[in-house]
């Protein structure tokens, strides 16, 4: 397969910014920011290309779990299942200054997108304020939406590189059954408030083998459109245990998603539709471990992705660049696991014993 990773990522970044600008053309404040961001994204692409010429791949995306604390107890939460999420803030979480140093390094490496996750990232207002200092980077904030208040609305209005992405499971009954009574109502209130202020926001929808058709329906998408949602992320369900593997999407569901996304992009030209991890066949396999993105957990551990919480290096002790060349990352990229065929869901989840074996061998 003649696959050029840098070209794939370059096209992806350019398409994201182009589509986002198209969806925001009627919003002068947002359009002005995106014009500037588009120029910075092109500069970032050139930086990554320069590293690639020297044999070093720099991903365009970084996922940063800025806290392990969360105010909700959602059913089937992957982070809580992996004990990466709790009710209290552990003492050894990265400070806001340490996160700012990571943002600075990311900018210098040409990383254009940093997804802020958790836990609940809006519990770390101190880190979000640090992110506003880096308008060259777009920070999608994956949030449960329950903490959006007047102060946050002001922060988002004044700093357009912060883009709230609200997790919503479907209608009120489905959302509240997983996230808790009253969460859906709070989500819609937050959407209404942001829509009135012309703040760009999005929705994060977890799809399984069984709910994908409903979530892609015109009825559901038009409802999000009416709420004022401009960005929709379709996130593949990752099993939290062996007995939930059957929920993971397979090739037929991915094919359905790909076809429907193309249709939705034509019918809803003022919205941006994305999928994660996306079509792995087109991208030449899983993009984790620095091929297309990587994850830094709330303690500073550099991990292949949030669904594979293993680390052999910590950014408290080294640079992002060195973390990208950790023994674990190199072993995963060179060992063929990321390109392996799998039934559905996450290839690293299916090969977690192999990942654990790599860590064990590297520690001997």
In sequence order, which ranges of the chain are alpha helices (DSSP H)?
Answer: 5-23, 28-53, 78-81, 96-109, 125-131, 150-158, 172-179, 183-196, 212-215, 218-227, 251-267, 320-324, 327-335, 347-350, 352-363
Residue 52 DSSP code = H
What does the pLDDT look like over 299-347, one tens digit per residue? 999 999 888 889 999 999 999 999 999 999 999 988 778 876 655 556 7
Domain map (residue ranges) of the chain: 5-303+314-363
pTM over 0.85: yes
pLDDT digits (tens, 9 = 90+) for 90-137: 888 999 999 999 999 999 999 999 999 999 999 999 999 999 999 999
Measure the CA–CA gap between 317 and 322, rounded to whole angstroms: 10
Is the separation of the CB atoms in 135 and 103 below 8 Å?
Answer: no
DSSP result, 195-264: HHTT---EEEEEE-TTTHHHHTSHHHHHHHHHHT--EEEEEE---SSGGGGGGS--HHHHHHHHHHHHHH
What's the pLDDT at 3?
A: 43
Which regions of the chain are under pLDDT 50?
Answer: 1-3, 5
Q: Please tell me the predicted confidence (pLDDT) of residue 26.
A: 63
According to the model, what pLDDT value does residue 2 have? Answer: 41
Tally the C-alpha atoms within 13 A of residue 361's C-alpha that lie toward its C-beta.
10
3-state secondary structure of 69: strand
For residues 71 and 131, give the distance between their C-alpha atoms in angstroms, rounded to a whole number.
22
Give pLDDT, residue 114. Answer: 96
Question: So what CATH class is 5-303+314-363?
Answer: alpha beta
pLDDT at residue 74, rounded to an integer: 80
Q: How far is CA 300 from CA 16, 39, 100, 256, 318, in A?
A: 28, 30, 12, 37, 10
């Amino acid at each position: 397969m003649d696959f050029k990773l840098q070209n794939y990522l370059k096209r992806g970044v350019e398409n994201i910014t182009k589509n986002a600008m198209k969806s925001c053309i009627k919003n002068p404040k947002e359009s002005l920011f995106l014009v500037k961001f588009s120029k910075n994204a092109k500069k970032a692409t050139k930086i990554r290309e320069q590293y690639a010429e020297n044999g070093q791949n720099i991903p365009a995306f970084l996922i940063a779990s800025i806290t392990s604390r969360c105010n909700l107890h959602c059913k089937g939460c992957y982070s809580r299942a992996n004990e990466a999420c709790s009710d209290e803030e552990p003492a050894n979480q990265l400070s806001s200054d340490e996160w700012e140093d990571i943002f600075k390094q990311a900018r210098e490496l040409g990383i254009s997108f940093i997804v802020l996750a958790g836990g609940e990232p809006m519990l770390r207002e101190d880190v979000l304020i640090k992110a506003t200092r880096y308008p060259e980077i777009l920070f999608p904030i994956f949030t449960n939406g329950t903490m959006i208040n007047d102060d946050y609305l002001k922060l988002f209005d004044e700093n357009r590189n912060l883009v709230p992405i609200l997790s919503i499971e479907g209608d009120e009954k489905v959302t509240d059954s997983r996230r808790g009574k009253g969460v859906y109502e709070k989500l819609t209130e937050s959407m209404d408030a942001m829509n009135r202020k012309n703040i760009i926001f999005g929705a994060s929808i977890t799809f399984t083998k069984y709910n994908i058709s409903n979530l892609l329906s015109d009825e559901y998408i038009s409802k999000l459109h009416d709420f004022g949602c401009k960005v929709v992320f379709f996130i593949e369900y990752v099993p939290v245990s062996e007995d939930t593997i059957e929920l993971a999407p397979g090739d037929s569901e991915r094919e359905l998603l790909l076809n429907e996304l193309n249709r939705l992009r034509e019918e809803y030209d003022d919205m941006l539709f994305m999928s994660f991890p996306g079509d792995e066949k087109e991208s030449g396999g899983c993009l984790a471990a620095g091929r297309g993105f990587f994850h830094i957990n709330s303690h500073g551990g550099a991990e292949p992705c949030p669904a594979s919480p293993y680390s052999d290096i910590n950014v408290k002790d080294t640079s992002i660049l060195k973390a990208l060349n950790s023994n674990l990352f190199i072993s995963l990229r060179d060992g063929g696991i990321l390109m392996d065929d799998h039934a559905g869901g996450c290839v690293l989840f299916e090969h977690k014993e192999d990942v654990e074996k790599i860590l064990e061998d590297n520690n001997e």
